[in-house]
Amino acid sequence: MTKITKEEVKKVAHLARLELNENEINNHVKQLEKILDYIRQLEKIDTDDVPCTTRAIEVVNVFRKDEKKNSDCNEELLELGPSREDKYFKVPKIINE
Q: Quick check: helix, strand or coil at residue 85?
A: strand
**Is the residue at 96 inside a domain?**
no
**Is the residue at 21 inside a domain?**
yes
| Total count of domains within the chain | 1
**Is the residue at 39 inside a domain?**
yes
E-strand stretches of the chain: 84-85, 88-89
Tell me the pLDDT band of 41, cut-offs 50, 70 and 90: very high
**Is the residue at 6 inside a domain?**
yes
DSSP state of 46: -
Tell me the pLDDT band of 2, cut-offs 50, 70 and 90: confident
Please give the residue range of the domain that contains residue 11. Answer: 1-46
Q: Which amino acid is at 20?
A: L
Please report, for the domain that includes residue 10, its CATH number.
1.10.20.60
pTM of the model: 0.50
pLDDT for res 57: 85
Q: What is the per-residue pLDDT across 45-93, written as a single tens digit (0 to 9) for each? A: 999 998 888 888 888 888 989 998 888 888 898 989 889 999 899 988 8
The separation between the first and the last C-alpha atoms of the chain, rounded to the nearest angstrom, is 69
**Is the residue at 29 inside a domain?**
yes
Tell me the pLDDT band of 1, cut-offs 50, 70 and 90: low
How many beta carbons lie within 10 A of that of residue 8, not counting itself?
A: 14
